[in-house]
Structure 1
Amino acid sequence: MTFTNDATRPYAEVIGDPIAHSKSPLIHGFWLEVLGIDADYRATHVTPEALPGYFAQRRADPHWRGCNITIPHKLAALDHVEDRGGVRGTIGAINLALRVDALDDEGDAIIGTNTDAGGFYAPIAGLDLSGAPVTVIGAGGAARAILFALSKIGVGPVTILNRNVLKAAALLATFGLKGQALPLNAGIGPCALLVNASALGMAGQPPLDVDLSALPEDAVVYDVVYAPLETALLKAARARDLETVDGLDMLIGQAALAFEMLFGAEPPRDRDEDLRALLTK
């Protein structure tokens, strides 16, 4: 597969399979326009088989600043970048590949990093989750970043629901978290925070059908899915008057960290209300 190299000015992009649902071009495009930066941001469909060729071609493109990385490449992309920050040994997945010279360094190396952990944590930074029980659905790349963040704030026992229970149990050990790994159909028990870190409920993916009756009245339900924004999980949580965090909060948070690294400027976060309105049209 050949990836078009027709850029005449700096650009970045988001890659994934599928990719049409991505809102990253709208987010970064909005910030570029507000700040008056002469650069582009686009979405590029990259299949797993084409991933090596993609990085080989982009490495040779001087206009390419880097790319955000989404499903299913967050783990596999590590094999095509330099891991100067030790991400492989911590989070174990990346969501951003960055040209070294985008950081005013020398050379044409591509480094990998992860902004998902910071983006996930920002909307719940005001919550006291120390020692609190947490349930996480999923054990993929997004879940790894989320579990990494949870391990840093000292949450209580963590229950991971996943099709592959052994994979989920291994993640608990990786991040030094006490808890249990259960199959997806085990049901949701009482917890202070419920996070859907899977693609379940996303447009084109199987639905996420869970019973929230065991959650206490002060529980927070957080869904990283943003297409659709009003997922069945969040709808069920709001029907119970539970506090919710939608996928745009994490998406915008991680994008803000990436934008500064890609384009060397802080995004205008004072325009978040306008940005959310654009993203929910």
Structure 2
Amino acid sequence: MGGLIPNLDGASQIYAVFGDPVAQVQTPRLVNPIFAAAACNIFAVPFHVTPAQFDSAWDAFSMLDNVAGIGVTVPHKVAAARKCATLTPTAEAVGAVNSIQRSADGSMHGALFDGTGFVLGIGARRARLAGARVLMVGAGGAGRAIAHALAGEGIASLALVDLDPDAIAFTAWMVNGLLKREAATALDPLAEARFDVVINASPIGIKGNAGFPISPEALHSDMLVADIAALSGETQLLRDARAAGAATSDGNDMLQAQIALIAGFASGLPAGTPLGA
């Protein structure tokens, strides 16, 4: 930890990060120096928690007084939201969380910073979102959060791909309600479509052998391609996008943009308050 993090002691608290897989998760590496700089005796630690283990792990950590909270990544963001006592307005609208604050009585309070992180993380390229034709693969917790934020940026359309048709239906319903028009639908694989923005919000590229559902030949130089699965290494999608001359963004861009908010919430501050601000 480079000397930035003080030694653990009996008063230390743990911010557990649940994921499956979890080896690629960068939250502990990024948030621990923020805790240390703010003199917070909190340590973020990754835990490999499968869906079958999730309920038991959640119950165990919510009972421990030295747990400050839980961060969740794929595939737990929707399941965690259902177990929280309260949700921030964005988390409630999306039905997912990525950061949970534990109160002294053991109750858990969920927030979602992925959407904010995504639009801030792409920097000046955020201007491309207004009026954009977007393809997004993955309509789980992170995908829903990004879709919510995309609607706020005034996209023209959103084509969705997910193995779960209910996830697509919910995300489309949410976006269409926010935009007050029929902008979001499931991708029609037979239709000819050209996109301005392509987003991978699924585990494709880090888990399993599934390939991305559009060919490298469909990528072009005036496109923005974001792969939030890419954290500790480059995915094939990003390699193909760079080869096509497209602008790219990975999961670190999104995470860096929201990490101070995650740190603040984990340390007990109101949602949306960065630690050290």
Smaller-chain TM-score bracket: 0.7 to 0.9
Post-superposition shift, 1:164?
4.1
Match of 1:116 in 2: 114
Distance 1:256 1:231 in 2: 26
Post-superposition shift, 1:18?
2.5
Aligned partner letter, 1:100: S
Distance 1:242 1:218 in 2: 6
Post-superposition shift, 1:142?
1.3
TM-score relative to the length of structure 1:
0.80
Post-superposition shift, 1:123?
2.0
TM-score relative to the length of structure 2:
0.81
Post-superposition shift, 1:36?
4.5
Q: Is the 8 A contact 2:17 2:73 kept in 1?
A: yes
Match of 1:213 in 2: 217
Matched, 1:245 2:238: no
Distance 2:101 2:48 in 1: 18
**Superposition map of 1:128-167 within 5 A:** 128=127, 129-165=129-165, 167=167
Match of 1:179 in 2: 184
**Superposition map of 1:9-28 within 5 A:** 9-28=12-31
Post-superposition shift, 1:205?
4.9
Match of 1:278 in 2: none
Which runs of 5 or more residues in structure 2 are unaligned? 1-8, 177-181
Distance 2:70 2:192 in 1: 35
Distance 2:87 2:262 in 1: 16
| C-alpha distance 186-224 of structure 1, shift in aligned 2 (>3 A) | farther
Q: Is the 8 A contact 1:93 1:141 kept in 2?
A: yes
Match of 1:79 in 2: 82
Post-superposition shift, 1:268?
7.1
Q: Cα deviations across residues 38-63 of structure 1 (Å, max 9, x unaligned)?
A: 32110122232333332332233221
**RMSD of the alignment, in Å?**
2.7
Distance 1:238 1:187 in 2: 25
Which runs of 5 or more residues in structure 1 are unaligned? 1-5, 102-106, 270-281
Distance 1:47 1:234 in 2: 27
Post-superposition shift, 1:11?
1.9
* Identity %, equivalent residues: 28
Equivalent residues, number: 258
Post-superposition shift, 1:223?
0.5
Post-superposition shift, 1:132?
1.7
Matched, 1:197 2:195: no
Aligned partner letter, 1:141: G
Q: Secondary structure at the match of 1:238?
A: helix
Q: Secondary structure at the match of 2:93?
A: coil
Distance 2:65 2:166 in 1: 43
Q: Is the 8 A contact 2:18 2:71 kept in 1?
A: yes
| C-alpha distance 202-227 of structure 1, shift in aligned 2 (>3 A) | farther
Match of 1:104 in 2: none
